[in-house]
Structure 1
């Protein structure tokens, strides 16, 4: 077996292990909609209380439903463990402010730091500093470019989101006999690598089917900017067959623009898997017919894995003695047919 094959096997197993960590027994309490691993019994030796672990945590301000869910999940997961103390610090308005807050956290010398940076490239230096100081860093969602800046990197499959969205659209267009569909795209913040990866997956998959994006209007992961971008796109395209909006929070504004212009001739695919989007898909009374997941449950997994790293343990279902270096969660497609199964994971 080649080194590459072994690496793929390890990462595939890691993704499976992380999935089992959460999806086997999740809680989505109506009070905070947190996605929490409650598997504390049975044969899971890792679940038993062990060495106390102090976990530092930082994520951008919760001005967005997905980010709010990230923070809620991290706090709820930490509270589920009697041997975990979570020390959360405010991230501030930008990377510089987050860096200052993290410097204070680093001085407290927690056992592990879980960090969703404003920007992975700009906070890479902090990851290197913490790792050099002997504090393992769990890099969440927005990737550090330097592998030495993190002990574990856990994120969603951004390229896979684009692949999943395009695959759904291609299948629907082919079923309708539309050979040259007019396809629109509303991404999030264009400067972020994750947005670029999502668009690349979407574009590459469409190209393989002989399709292309006719018009692309970036938004900024908010309802207001989603409404603006959708209005501009619909004005530019008198006819649309399909639309992919990268983010369900900004999708609220996209749907508002669609209603205002009374444009219902196309199907829309969302991104992330918000509860509102899943409910709309299940109701089947709008152009939104599917969404591709990018679940904030990754924050719950990050806390669980940070705990294991702090206790020098591995994943129970893997042969390896340590938590893997990288975990990428798969992007799944939610449609009317399976919406009920995913409702509990909406945020």
Structure 2
């Protein structure tokens, strides 16, 4: 098992060669370089309609009538004009081997709703059949820089969504807007689908992530393992098993204190089924926090030892000491606490 995990880690380490997503926060749009990564092409997109939404709820449809959004009453507290941009890229690198079988639709501005909205996308069944894809397992995917988790910050890249297939249409629910598309997998065993991966910042510290949670689905019902790949920036990474939260699809793992280096933290979630089929989030390699967060505050203020006493602030909070006081803990307190046992 250790040999297999090492081979898996090596493959993903050398795959870490693509830029992470750069989000233009002032315009609520992805940059040109980010679109190249997301779409797999230089498709500039074309205007495809839009509409005005307010607290009373509304229905918004793209001009090609293949993309529809139903916003229920009470999902918003304000009036917003949404714009739809359509991308016809057929090379979008959707995760888990899914092939794009719809256009990609971007909704601006990015937005978080109080209630779930319903998204419907028409798929190209003829394309799926011509490529011998498994149309019955088609799924929706999205990219969003707006977080649906109350305290969690979203990892970048395409993520799956729980999807219903109705004839040629996929239907799913979401609380956030950015970019949506549909994909269809090849026949045979499928790798796990990571519906979302989030990192959480430790209260009482200067923007230090201390925990990872991931929503992971195994589409074939196969047994699988979910791992957190983590380590200090510029240093080695290691694999830690993520524990399932009850009978849900959520898995979690704490970040070891030793990974919280002044230069940042390398993070990735990998899911592997019993057949060796694997999926990663981000799919392009490890995420470097805070540099890849896109948040100027985190980038400029991140500090794992705010009072300069040589003790990690998360460890100090966890053990009841004051991370703002160099005299807490008192001299002679043992540290570091030791690296947890990895797989």
TM (normalized to structure 1)? 0.24
More helix by share: 1
Higher relative contact order (CA 8 A, sep 6+): 1
TM-score scaled by length of structure 2: 0.25
Q: Which has the higher strand share?
A: 2
